[in-house]
Amino acid sequence: MPLKQEEDFASAVMMRLIATGMEKQGLISPVDAVRGARVARGAKRSALNQVAEQHGLLTIMRLADAVHDMPPEPVAVALTKAAGLEDFLERWRRVESFSHASNRLRAEPFGETGFRLHHVSKNAASPPVLVESLLVIAVVTVLAEIAGDQALRLETDKGQVLREASRWRVFDTLDWSGKVHLLQSRQQIRDLPVPSSGGADVAETLKTIVSQDLVRRWSVQSLADTIGTSKRSLQRRLNERGLSVSRLIMEVRLEAAAAFLCNADGPGLGAIGFLTGFADQAHFSRSFNEHVGIPPQDYRKRFGR
């Protein structure tokens, strides 16, 4: 499937968020909850403009609180498994890449534990509108709070506080330049629970660990640390079985991708590529074709139910 035919699955999630967020605030939504994996990109901007015109900019930001009330979204769940704020923002960047979003959230370190965020367009001649930027930044903030299990402080680069203690600040005017600071009180790295090995060998233990968070950027060192061994010892034990960490990780990702593809009504190809930990759409399609023998879209046509 050519990339241009893969619709923006992230916009579909945002549309469902808008509908849920309006209901949570006791307001009439300008859109119905969108079902399915795809939605036209222009629909989201139109809906947000209607909300802002009728209820103000603060209502746009409060839509993000509906994340807590929505049915589990696979992409959101994968984001909230992030090991820390930096890992979360890297996962968000990959979501934008896989969904072919026209806008991007730039993130750069700020202070000891924070980040400066700037929502920009890939096309400089068509920047994102304010309502789009506010919603994206609000959703990022709420999801990052869930991922890190801590309240974050969100403020404009001019010092106006927008959120703290998990609450949005009421404002009469927005001192907005396009950039905000997302600050955490402490730097936190989340560790995955290590499965009991029982009688399983190291390869099976590692596969279980990787499958718990396919989106994480696993390395030999991170896996060795997770199971409490040295990098050299882990490589030696895998080599004895004719395996490598990279091969093992690829096997787990391909098995998960195949399972998604067998569900014809499941996530689109872009979402599957992200959820199974590939770098981008091209990497997913190339790797699947190389190891399985057919492109992922053909696999779904043949085996999807």
pLDDT tens column, 226-278:
999 999 999 999 999 899 999 999 999 999 999 999 998 888 899 999 999 99
Work out the pLDDT band at 101, boundaries 50, 70, 90: confident
E-strand spans in the chain? 103-110, 114-121, 153-156, 161-164, 167-168, 179-183
CATH 2.60.40 fits 3-183, yes or no: no
Secondary structure of residue 75 in the 3-state scheme: helix
Q: Which value, in Å, is the radius of gyration of the alpha carbons in the chain?
A: 21
Residue 98 has a pLDDT of 87
The tokens for 265 are 């009504």
Residues 6+ apart with CB under 8 A from 265: none
Is the per-residue pLDDT at 198 higher than 70? no
Q: Is there a contact between 79 and 88 (Cβ–Cβ < 8 Å)? A: yes
Q: Is there a contact between 66 and 21 (Cβ–Cβ < 8 Å)? A: yes
SS3 content of the chain, % helix, strand, coil (to 5): 50, 10, 40
Work out the pLDDT band at 196, boundaries 50, 70, 90: low
Q: Where are the domains of the chain?
A: 3-183, 202-303
pLDDT in tens, 140-150: 999 999 999 99
The third-level CATH classification (topology) of the domain covering 202-303 is Arc Repressor Mutant, subunit A (1.10.10)
Please tell me the least confidently modeled range out of 37-51, 85-99, 129-143, 287-301: 37-51
Is the per-residue pLDDT at 6 higher than 50? no
Work out the angle between the directed axes of helices 245-261 and 202-212 (0-180°, nearest 10): 50
Secondary structure of residue 107 in the 3-state scheme: strand
Residue 197 has a pLDDT of 53
Residue 214 has a pLDDT of 97
Q: Do domains 3-183 and 202-303 have the same CATH topology?
A: no
Q: Of residues 165 and 304, which shows the higher confidence score?
A: 165
Residue 2 has a pLDDT of 37
